[in-house]
Chains A and B, each alone.
Chain A
Amino acid sequence: MKEKKYSNKKWFNTVRVAWFLAKRQIKGSNKSTTFLIVFIMTLTFLNLVVVSGILVGLIEGGNIANKEQYTGDVIITTVAGEPDISRTHEIESTLSKMQGIENISLRYIENGRVEANYKTRRDFSTLPDVVATQIAGIDTKAEDSLSNLSKYVVEGEYLSPNESGKILIGANLLRRYSAGFGDYFASLEGVYPGEEVKVTIDDRTKTFIVKGIVDTKVGEVSMRAFMTEEDFWRLVDRPGINANEIAVDLKPNSTISADRVKSNLVSVGFVNDGKIQTALEAIPDFLNQIKIAFSLLGNVIGLIGIVVASITIFIVIFINAVTRRKYIGIMKGIGISERAIEISYILQSIFYASAGGILGMIVVYALLVPFFLSHPLDFPFSDGILVAPIGETSFRFALLLLVTLVAGYIPARNIVKKNTLDSILGR
């Protein structure tokens, strides 16, 4: 027989033997049992990622919509107590000189009233059909480039530049769209494109033809009425021509960030002229709180899944090790180290968790994320998507591996540490 060559790489050798044993045990195991275990691990992984992903996605979908349809990447609003954003056009000029800015939309806003159905009102003892709302004067082209407002016109048409006497009504101002809100908000009966409405700001009233109905899940958009900038100034009597909102959009691959735009504006000295916020900062605090609460809830549900998965692996490895106790004893008897046998069981656990996790990843990224993007969950204030950032998903994958590794090790250790001869003789 050949002269023995002993490797000094003890650990490498131990892992090599463990790998050899684990591979053969997995290959030799019952295929349907293996499939079932992997299936359970896949479900566990999905439970871990998808439940919290959807809960967070309900809020995140709202945040994304808020950014895309309302705030843009940066929004400047009127400072509390001030009538408008002072030095609006200097800010606009500064922004337009910055690199990486794609669109800027100035919005002129006043509180006003919209009255409908006044022509058919017969009984003057009843209240008129009126809603109080914000009237926004916009540059139709700039606003559409920034917020794709025309895309959300669900009836009629979007405003054309320079046209006069036309108005867009937010769907939430109409009863047929806002019935779900019950009697919380006043709303107008009927009102279809082509019909006439009266718009009053302060004591000035003008009639407008409804050109379209705008429906989005962003409250600031669906609760407003929009007209051209020119019509706005015809209706409003206020000093100066400053705007009330400036929404700024960055180019898709812009090297400048929203934070940088904000800090540039601050450094130029516009800090007191308007309230400058990035889209993230403009998210109402309660939404962030809900997001945190949903995320926590998702994690709790996910943790329950992890516990179930670890118990599953524990039972699988325990039964496997118990039924193979005699062979474990024989292996120990012929000199295979306990560590190698334990690692072979750990490797089996890792195989089940990895296979389940990888399958879960494929399901999440190839199936569920695209599915929810094209078929968002219809939630009253958002279109819910599945939020599964690769970093977080990888962390959950690693967590699943770690838990199953421990769950595999404990029963293996329990069986392996038993007396060698007792194991061989089955006593």
Chain B
Amino acid sequence: MTDENVSAGDGIPTPDGASHVIETDYEIGQDNVEGNLGPFGFDIHNPVFAISGLAIVAFVFYTLALPEQAGAVFNWLFDSVTKGFDWFFLGAANIFVIFCLLLIVSPVGSVRLGGTEATPDYGYVGWFAMLFAAGMGIGLMFYGVSEPMSHFSSSVGGTAVGEDGIRTDWAPLGAAGGDEAQAVRLGMAATIFHWGLHPWAIYAVVGLALALFSYNKGLPLTVRSAFYPIFGDRIWGWPGHIIDIIAVFATLFGLATSLGFGATQANAGLNELFGIPVGETTEVILISAITAVALVSVLRGLDGGVKVLSEINMGLAFILLIFVLLVGPTVWLLTLFADSLLAYIQYLPALSNPIGREDVNFSQGWTSFYWAWWISWSPFVGMFIARVSRGRSVREFVVCVLLIPSLVCVLWMSVFGGSALHQVINDGYTAAQDATLELKLFKMLDVLPLASITSLIGIVLVIVFFVTSSDSGSLVIDTITAGGKVDAPVPQRAFWAIFEGAVAIVLLLSAGGLKSLQSMVISTGLPFTVILLVMCFAIWQGLRNERRAIK
């Protein structure tokens, strides 16, 4: 009797070594319903699949049937969440950053995800490309130029105080009225603040919690598992259902609204480049095309689809970055990179201060909004990160999910935002400054050499980033609605990819539907912040038990 426990090629690891598996009587998939719908098989978790599916349809109908009322309700919700709880978002995000940094230096950082002997599933390049594509790819394309510009402009404008003594300007901190050099530093620091340590710490917390409880503790790969230390076996009942349903909800609507807005933006870019008409027809075609590509990618699986596209995109983005850096004011940009990093560190304590802020518009309208947005995306991105991070040690995981992406964002923002700022300050070219959000990148590229090629690369990047968001999102939703099983029948994930596109199209065609649902998605950031804080506690507990078990 030989046992050839050998794993097949592809560098897939031989498991596994010691880990602290949580004993529970729950069998993964025990609440699942398996069957066939016509020729297609399915394997779904009851009731998470049904309730999230129906609730999504109900919400779409609500925004369609009563657009004005829905808009008013969601906007009110959004305002009260970002303005009333700004201190909570800012404070919590600081806790996540500190928690992650502590993990790096703490002895528990040596715990390996997947057991002491586990080896990484993916090499650094593929892993990193997927982290990035899921995490913020698309945002970098749109905000890389526009955000540094916005903060710079508002900072130069100085502060303004309304009749009620509250500041009416949108500048960060104390602004830098009239002082361009200072405004550049402040603007870059504020931008990096929104794209640096804090968002990645949010993702790292969720990703780490899911990876730890799944790979080391043997619980299903779904959001509820991280709550086992608190709820115990009750997590397999309604408390867990609710957590998973909220996660599906936030993921699907987050993706659908992004897909909708993305189509609008890609349309604007195509119009600028090729004169393709702006309108609902083009946008519907764009969403359908993006969904179709995402569908192919989803059907090709994690390695054959998402990973390949992520790597292509990272390559393209890197080429674009190097190009802009080289043909632009290279030395100025590199100096700006170092300078921005210093400015970020210098302003970080003030920018992240959760209470007693005078720059209310900035801290509520920008920071609080961003934090709620990252947090509402965290179940999706975190789960995807967890899926590809088996075999990394906790320390390696945190360094690679927190520090390296933050640095790359600083570089990206410095090069793209910096080029546009340089055009305004030194050349007096203000087309990028004056353009609408979706065109800023293209206007900036316009005055550099080879503009038609680089703009085309820009459009391709935008579209492929949407595809990678859509396909990785479908994988995540499918896993959650299958109760943490990653081997559910393929038609199921195809269903989610199509459903997502359909929701995006319906919302796009309804007046204000996208806007109001985006407000709602961001509002889900509030309950999730609480969930994330609890996760920090669960991670700590889990890692300590893990260390004890290994010893």
> Bound pair: A and B?
no
| Chain B residues close to A by CB (< 8 Å) | none
